[in-house]
């Protein structure tokens, strides 16, 4: 049963995983997702915007570029500093604050728009995280999410990792946030409307080997998976990821371009 699972212990392990490597190396390549989400949410100048599980700040920067008053949050402090470096470089006014997506330190109805790009979907307690997004969003405000789908490339990467290092029993996979019926369960009773648009993000690397080198060095979950496996098992994981990458590569032998489906979600709060 879910109530017998130590979600705090799982969260602690996740936090350690995301703090390993340097997600910002990957995050900066995803900036277009934040820009698209800001447009989908139709953010307006001077609106109060909260970016939850912001990583190195893609959605935060996108909203700030549109004149919003932005607070960028994550539970990995080092990632917030990387976001702050980017904000300073672009002369953008963004506030940064360490915060847990499942226990946000903000008042009820305090933001016009609440955003998360590939962030809140990784919380272990889906219902609690969704309730927090709803709580801090004002009535009539918008919640904008970008979530990887189960059948898309990143969803398949996590399924591949799970075959080698099974996730804790009873914990819902992050990719459930990329399923419309799950979103309706989490947000439906409090939502005036939910729109979900499938979009492809293209991962662009030199080769499958190049992608794996970058992700096993810098992307926390992949980095920790390889570190946890003995050499023979790590080699098998590498072979499985290589096969997945080559199967989904649309660039042929000249390069690696792998489309990965995600849902761009806009929820209007009652």
Q: What is the pLDDT along the chain (270 residues), one digit of tens a residue?
A: 345 678 888 888 888 888 888 999 999 999 999 999 999 999 999 999 999 999 999 999 999 999 999 999 999 999 999 999 999 999 999 999 999 999 999 999 999 999 999 999 999 999 999 999 999 999 999 999 999 999 999 999 999 999 999 988 888 999 999 999 999 999 999 999 999 999 999 999 999 999 999 999 999 999 999 999 999 999 999 999 999 999 999 999 999 999 999 999 999 999
Q: Tell me whether strands 137-148 and 256-269 are parallel, antiparallel or unpaired.
A: antiparallel
CATH code for the domain of 109: 3.40.50.150
Q: Pull the structure tokens for residue 185.
A: 């369960």
Q: At 128, is the secondary structure helix, strand, or coil?
A: helix
Residue 225 lies in a domain: no
Residue 214 lies in a domain: no
- Backbone φ and ψ for 242, nearest 5 degrees, come out as -60, -45
DSSP 46-68: T-EEEESS-TTTHHHHHHHHTT-
Residue 53 lies in a domain: yes
pTM higher than 0.75: yes
Residue 116 lies in a domain: yes
Number of domains, the chain: 1
Domain that holds residue 187: 2-152+164-202+260-269
Residue 238 lies in a domain: no
Q: How far apart are the first and last CA of the chain?
A: 32
What's the full length of the chain, in residues? 270
- The total of other beta-carbon atoms located within 10 Å of residue 234's CB is 16
Residue 191 lies in a domain: yes
Residue 220 lies in a domain: no
Residue 247 lies in a domain: no
Neighbour order of strands in the sheet with 69-74: 94-98, 69-74, 48-51, 111-117, 137-148, 256-269, 191-205
Long-range contacts of 131-135 (CB under 8 A, 24+ apart): 132/52, 132/101, 132/102, 132/103, 132/104, 133/52, 134/187, 134/190, 134/269, 135/104, 135/108, 135/109
- Helix H or strand E segment including 143: strand 137-148
Between CA 76 and CA 90 the distance in angstroms is 22
Position 2 scores a pLDDT of 42
């Amino acid at each position: 049963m879910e109530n017998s699972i130590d979600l705090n212990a799982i969260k602690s392990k996740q936090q350690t995983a995301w703090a390993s490597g340097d997600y910002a190396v990957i995050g900066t390549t995803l900036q277009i997702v934040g820009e698209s989400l800001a447009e989908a949410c139709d953010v307006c100048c001077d609106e109060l915007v909260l970016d939850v599980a912001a990583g190195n700040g893609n959605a935060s920067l996108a909203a700030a570029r549109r004149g919003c008053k932005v607070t960028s949050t994550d539970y990995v402090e080092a990632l917030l500093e990387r976001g702050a470096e980017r904000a300073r470089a672009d002369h953008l006014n963004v506030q940064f604050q360490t915060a847990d997506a499942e226990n946000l330190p903000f008042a009820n109805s305090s933001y016009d728009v609440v955003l998360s790009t590939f962030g809140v979907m990784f919380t272990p307690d889906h219902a609690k995280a969704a309730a927090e997004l709803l709580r801090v969003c004002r009535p009539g405000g918008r919640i904008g999410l970008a979530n990887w789908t189960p059948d898309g490339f990143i969803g398949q990467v996590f399924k591949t990792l799970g075959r080698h290092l099974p996730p804790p029993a009873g914990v819902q996979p992050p990719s459930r946030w990329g399923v419309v019926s799950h979103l309706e369960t989490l947000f439906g009773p409090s939502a005036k409307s939910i729109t979900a648009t499938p979009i492809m993000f293209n991962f662009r690397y030199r080769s499958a080997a190049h992608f794996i080198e970058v992700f096993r060095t810098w992307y926390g979950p992949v980095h920790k998976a390889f570190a946890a496996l003995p050499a023979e098992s790590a080699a098998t994981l590498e072979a499985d990821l290589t096969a997945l990458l080559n199967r989904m590569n649309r660039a042929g032998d000249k390069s690696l371009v792998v489309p990965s489906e995600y849902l761009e979600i806009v929820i209007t709060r009652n």
